[in-house]
Amino acid sequence: MERGLLEARGRVVDPFGGIGGFGLVGGWHGLQMVLCELEERFVKLAEENFALHERSWDAKHPRPVIVQGDSRRLGEFVGPAVGR
């Protein structure tokens, strides 16, 4: 963000969400993070990781969102996940 590549509160989509690490880092930097992950077990782990940091999420540090699905159909998930 210091270089002007991303705007504060900008939305970043990670099509391979894994256990949510990128979502945590992006959220901490003020980005609206939307992650997509195919594997249910990783989605659950990501949600657990997000819950560990629940108290630190606020308007300045938005909570990441992870959805389970196939990233080849990402457009079907992103809008509903963030309320368009």
pLDDT by residue for the chain (84 residues), tens only, comes to: 556 677 777 889 999 999 999 999 999 999 999 999 999 999 999 999 999 998 888 878 889 999 999 999 888 877 666 664
Residue 56 within any structural domain of the chain: yes
Q: What's the pTM value of the predicted model, to 2 decimals?
A: 0.82
Total structural domains in the chain?
Answer: 1
Residue 19's domain comprises 12-70
Residue 59 within any structural domain of the chain: yes
Residue 1 within any structural domain of the chain: no
Sign of CA dihedral 43, 5, 59, 61: positive
Residue 64 within any structural domain of the chain: yes
Distances (CA, A) of 74 to 15, 24, 38: 7, 20, 11
Residue 65, H or E segment: strand 65-68
Give me the pLDDT at residue 83, please. Answer: 60
Residue 6 within any structural domain of the chain: no
Question: For residue 63, which of 42, 84, 32 has the smallest C-alpha distance?
Answer: 32
Dist. CA 30–CA 19, nearest whole Å: 19
Give me the pLDDT at residue 3, please. Answer: 62
Question: For residue 14, which of 56, 53, 64 has the smallest C-alpha distance?
Answer: 64
